[in-house]
């Protein structure tokens, strides 16, 4: 059912939630209906401007095992390039451990922005984001990365090999684990590339298509084994055949996690 509208948000979100056990198939209808109609004028700009914050802080400890309780509390935010245009104005969302939540709202209302803040590509100007009660701004980049994975509209890949990109959250993953994850994510195209997993992507490497990047990001999420998974229109760049296969892969990676689906 519908839960917790964000009180003071400039733009309104609706947060739909379901407790553990709701399969991905229950959500796929919502996906199917909304995905096709969304536009994304700013996606290209977005990826150019986004740079993960450099992080040298020591980092607070997260509880172990991590439960995956996510709280967004009174969050205000404007992009640094447009400081006078507030995007979020007091957003409150609480997502309990193991919940599968869909975040819906008009194009441009700030859904992807919420994902950017939760992964700390940007920091809120006011308010806090808590993971199991710990403010994410106090975590090391590594701890945050291991806890939360995002598969987004326009996945952020680094100017490095595909292998390094998939190992992002878990640098010690074996090649076998990476290959299994790529298979589950329907990313077998990697093996057809001349340099396979060693192929460089980004500025100094090949440019992948949107769908290929998404599948690399899904493989990354599978390898990372995060407590919290953010799917920001995670299958938007795929054709319907790949979409089916990737949805099945996402269903596997969603099991027993806290999941936020931007619908």
Ligand X SMILES: Nc1ncnc2c1ncn2[C@@H]1O[C@H](COP(=O)(O)OP(=O)(O)OP(=O)(O)O)[C@@H](O)[C@H]1O
Q: Give me the residues that bind ligand X (CB under 6 A), please.
A: 38-40, 42, 45-46, 49, 79, 81-82, 87, 105, 107-113
Min separation Cβ 206 and Mg ion, Å: 25
235 within 8 A of 214, measured Cβ to Cβ? yes
Min separation Cβ 36 and Mg ion, Å: 14
Q: Does 214 bind Mg ion (CB under 5 A)?
A: no
Structure tokens at 68: 């995956």
The C-alpha atoms of residue 49 and residue 71 are separated, in whole angstroms, by 26
Q: Name which of 6 and 112 has its Cβ closer to Mg ion.
A: 112
Q: Name which of 116 and 170 has its Cβ closer to Mg ion.
A: 116
Structure tokens at 30: 């919502």
Structure tokens at 157: 């890949």
Q: Name which of 35 and 164 has its Cβ closer to Mg ion.
A: 35
Q: Does 119 bind Mg ion (CB under 5 A)?
A: no
Q: Does 236 bind Mg ion (CB under 5 A)?
A: no
SS3 (DSSP) at 40 = coil
CB atoms within 10 A of CB 40: 14
Selection from ligand X, Mg ion, none that 211 binds (CB < 5 to 8 A by kind) is none
Min separation Cβ 170 and ligand X, Å: 27
- Residue sitting closest to Mg ion (CB): 112
The C-alpha atoms of residue 171 and residue 118 are separated, in whole angstroms, by 21
Q: Name which of 59 and 108 has its Cβ closer to ligand X.
A: 108
Selection from Mg ion, ligand X, none that 82 binds (CB < 5 to 8 A by kind) is ligand X
Query: For the stretch 216-238, what's the b/e string if a residue is b when 16 or more beta carbons lie within 10 angstroms of its beta carbon?
Result: bbbbbbbbbbbbbbbbbbbbbbb
Which residues ranging from 87 to 116 are in contact with Mg ion (CB under 5 A)?
Answer: 111-112
The C-alpha atoms of residue 144 and residue 129 are separated, in whole angstroms, by 12
Q: Name which of 108 and 202 has its Cβ closer to ligand X.
A: 108
Min separation Cβ 101 and Mg ion, Å: 16
CA distances from 52 to 69, 124, 126, 193 (A): 23, 14, 19, 28
CA distances from 13 to 4, 7, 126 (A): 9, 9, 19
- Residues binding Mg ion: number (CB under 5 A): 2
Q: Name which of 107 and 135 has its Cβ closer to ligand X.
A: 107
Min separation Cβ 12 and Mg ion, Å: 15
Min separation Cβ 52 and ligand X, Å: 14
Residues 6 or more apart in contact with residue 85 via CB below 8 angstroms: 78, 79
Binding site for Mg ion (CB under 5 A): 111-112
């Amino acid at each position: 059912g519908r839960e917790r509208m964000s009180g003071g948000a400039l733009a309104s979100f609706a947060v739909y939630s379901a407790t553990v056990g709701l399969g991905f198939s229950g959500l796929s209808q919502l996906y199917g209906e909304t995905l096709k109609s969304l536009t994304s004028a700013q996606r290209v700009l977005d990826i150019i401007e986004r740079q993960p914050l450099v992080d040298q802080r020591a980092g607070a400890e997260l509880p172990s095992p991590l439960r995956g309780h996510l709280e967004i509390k009174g969050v205000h935010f404007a992009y640094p390039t447009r400081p006078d245009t507030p995007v979020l104005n007091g957003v409150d969302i609480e997502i309990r451990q193991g919940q599968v939540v869909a975040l819906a709202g008009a194009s441009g209302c700030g859904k992807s922005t919420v994902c950017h803040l939760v992964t700390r590509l940007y920091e809120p100007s006011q308010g806090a984001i808590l993971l199991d009660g710990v403010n994410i701004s106090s975590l090391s980049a590594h701890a945050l990365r291991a806890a939360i994975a995002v598969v987004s509209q326009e996945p952020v890949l680094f100017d490095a090999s595909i292998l390094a990109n998939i190992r992002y959250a878990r640098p010690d993953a074996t090649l076998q684990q990476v290959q299994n994850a790529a298979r589950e994510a329907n990313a077998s195209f990697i093996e057809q590339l001349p340099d396979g997993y060693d192929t460089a992507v980004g500025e100094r490497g090949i440019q992948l298509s949107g769908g290929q990047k998404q599948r690399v990001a899904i493989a990354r999420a599978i390898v990372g084994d995060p407590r919290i998974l953010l799917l920001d229109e995670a299958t938007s760049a795929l054709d319907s055949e790949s979409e089916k296969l990737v949805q099945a892969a996402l269903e596997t990676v969603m099991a027993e996690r806290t999941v936020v689906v931007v619908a």
